[in-house]
Amino acid sequence: MSVHVASVGVGRFGKRSEGLLELATEAAGLALEGIGRKKVDLFVAGTMLAHGPQGPPALLPRLAERLGLDWESGFRVEAASATGAMAFHAAVESIEAGRASRALVVAVDKMTDQPTGVLTRELAAALHESEVASGATMPGLGSLVAQRYLQRHHLAPEAMGLVTVHDRSMASANPRAHLPKPVSLEEVAASRPVALPLRLLHCAPISDGAAAAVVEKGAGKATVLGLGQGFDALRITDRADLSSFLATRLAARRAYQQSGLTRKNIDLVELHDAFSPLAFVHLEDLGFCGSGEGPGWYERGWVQRDGRLPVNPSGGLLGRGHPVAATGLAGIAEIAAQLRGEAGPTAVARPPKIGLAHSMAGLGAQNFVTILGEAPS
Amino acid sequence: MSAPGPEGLTLVKCSTCHARFTPREGPCPRCMSPSTEAFIVPGIGTVLASTALEVPPPGWEAPHLLALVELEDAVRLLVLPEAPLPVPGALVEVRADGPVYRARRVDGDRGGRGEGDAPGAGPSRPPFEPPR
């Protein structure tokens, strides 16, 4: 039985005055409008951060009250910064299992109302406690990954700036992006150090935002063709390699296998580039290019909207923004919108038939790959 | 975690699959065997990557130095290095200190970030090290 994405809703990412529930309600409302407010029998919600009076413990009843929907079942999921992808996978699998016929998926996080210290600690909760005990943070460990990648391929740190410049350029077409202003390689290289070689403009911003989708039984232009998830050691010190993510390779293998497709069938990609060098790592782990070839793809413009493989046409995490839980679903929603011809200003040059969304939790301990496209006839 | 002596660093070896890893609760992370035994190594390792966190978590001072170190046994540790930040390739001695590992250079403190390098001395600067 096939399941397809019937509609998506993504609100503006950035510093928003609204609270968590308002943001989720806005995105859910857009997705529900898209299906003419037809009955939904399953509700799946996801959020990662746990601060404030509108915390996640009673997220479903709080949202139910606002959305005024009469659903029969629902649950909340959490997978750190891949929460949105996990929520989507869980909803699709519930429909495939016959538990529901139409589901609303919402993923949301509210971040900008918190001091940086609080956020640093909350985001580091996705890392292993033995590493957090040493004062490790997400950018701190991201820096180690960046260095291992640069060392392995004999690259200068300037190469990482290519991803920021690309994402910000893509975001400039996206009215819902957090950072729609283009930047130059020089500006990236001159931004303040966060954890060298990572500088501020190599890191995704702290954003508020929500994404939503309605998935239902049936086939369409954004049919779910393959879902994959993969795990890796939570301690980065237990991993054999830091310049590649096992969790992505496993998730990709499973999604390709389920869909019967290979990387050659994929027309566009949304990647989880919380730190710019991760885009190279992901492109390689997903099989699109060989080890160390990622920077060349950006340099040659192959990732542009009219390139060989458009990457992050929405602006990615560095341009669209990164409200952690919402990010994974926003990437899937962008792929679905592109396939359905509803992407508007972010549409890629050649109408795509099959797209892939990649999502990463923490520093790659549980990653997700989602392949959507036209169902084979 | 077993208490490390002043000499050496305690690691754990799986009696079944012979994987080596840092002391921790529970079974061997590779084969799940509950049968593990502690052993002592000199604690000398090579820095694979290192950084200075300009925005450390609450309770730590900036810049907070972190390094990924690989010991002779291919066991990797996240350590708090002594300043100046040891560059990749530097040789360090690692000691357990409560819940953290600390490291100091044992190859002459050449080439740390933020300190003057003797011209031509020390390990070659990695390609990502920003020019000063």
A371: closest CA among A280, A194, A251?
Answer: A251
The CATH number that applies at residue A368 is 3.40.47.10
Do B64 and A135 lie within an 8 Å CB cutoff? yes
> C-alpha distances in angstroms, A59 versus A20, A27, A66, A75, A87?
10, 15, 11, 9, 14
Closest chain B residue to A197, measured at CA: B128
C-alpha distance from residue A227 to each of A60, A86, A160, A231, A253 (Å): 25, 10, 29, 14, 10
Task: Supply angle C-alpha B10, B51, B125, rounded to 5.
Answer: 105
Burial class (CB in 10 A: 0-12, 13-18, 19+), A284: buried
Q: What is the mean pLDDT of chain A?
A: 95
Provide the domain count of chain A. Answer: 1
Contacting residues for A237 by C-beta, under 8 A, at least 6 apart:
A131, B22, B68, B76, B77, B78
Beta-carbon contacts below 8 Å between A and B: 114
* pLDDT for res B123: 38
Residues of A in contact with B127 (CB under 8 A): 150-151, 154-156
Q: Do B66 and A140 touch (CB under 8 A)?
A: yes
pLDDT at A368 over 50: yes
Q: Indicate the range of A67-71, A342-346, B11-15, B102-106 predicted with least confidence.
A: A67-71
Query: Which chain A residues touch B if contact means CB-CB below 8 Å?
Result: 116-118, 120-121, 124, 130-137, 139-140, 143-144, 146-148, 150-151, 154-157, 192-198, 233, 236-238, 242
Q: What pLDDT shows up at residue B127?
A: 35
CB distance A145 to A248 below 8 Å: no
Tokens found for residue A163: 């991803």
Mean pLDDT of B15-23: 93
Does some domain include residue A153?
no
Best mutation target among A196, A232, A276 (most B Cβ atoms within 10 Å) is A196
Task: Name which residue leads in pLDDT, B131 or B28.
Answer: B28
Could you list the residue range(s) of the whole structural domain that residue A97 is in? 3-113+206-373
CB contact under 8 A, A121 and B51: no
Determine, yes or no, domain membership for A182.
no
| Bridge partner residues of A193 (DSSP) | A199
Nearest residue in A to B61, CA atom: A135
**Across A198-266, where does the E strand assignment appear?**
198-199, 209-217, 223-231
pLDDT at B125 over 70: no
Average pLDDT over residues A41-68: 85
Residues 6+ apart with CB under 8 A from B7: B40
Residue A339 counted as domain residue = yes
Q: By CA distance, what is A140's nearest residue in B?
A: B53
pLDDT tens-place string over residues A223-262: 999 999 999 999 999 998 899 999 999 999 999 999 999 9
Task: Compute the average pLDDT of residues A322-350.
Answer: 98
**What is the average per-residue pLDDT within A269-273?**
98
Residue A200: inside a domain? no
Position A325 in a domain = yes
Question: A316: phi > 0 → left, psi -120 to 50 → alpha, else beta; which?
Answer: left
Q: In this predicted structure, what is the pLDDT of residue A376?
A: 77
Residue A51 predicted with pLDDT over 80: no
The confidence band for A361, taking pLDDT boundaries of 50, 70 and 90, is very high
Tokens 């538990």 appear where?
A: A99
Report pLDDT for A50: 67
Q: Which helix (H) or strand (E) holds A372?
A: strand A366-373
Q: What is the pLDDT of residue A54?
A: 66
| Alpha-carbon distances of B73 from A373, B12, B27, B91, B126, rounded to whole Å | 47, 11, 19, 14, 24
Q: Identify whether A37 is part of a domain.
A: yes
| Sequence letter at residue A204 | A
Q: What is the largest CA-CA distance in chain A?
A: 57
* Closest chain B residue by Cα to residue A194: B54
**Is residue A165 included in any domain, yes or no?**
no
> Which residue is closest to B89 within chain A, CA to CA?
A151
Note whether residue A144 is domain-resident: no
Task: Return the DSSP state at A302.
Answer: T
Residues of B in contact with A148 (CB under 8 A): 48-49
SS3 A270: strand
Q: What is the pLDDT of residue B131?
A: 34
Cβ of A237 within 8 Å of Cβ of B76? The answer is: yes
A138 chain-B contacts, CB cut-off 8 A = none
In chain A, the percentage of residues whose pLDDT exceeds 70 is 98
* Banded model confidence at residue B2, pLDDT cuts 50, 70, 90: very low
Residues A120-160: tens digit of each pLDDT: 889 999 999 999 999 999 999 999 999 999 999 999 999 99
Q: Do B126 and A140 touch (CB under 8 A)?
A: no
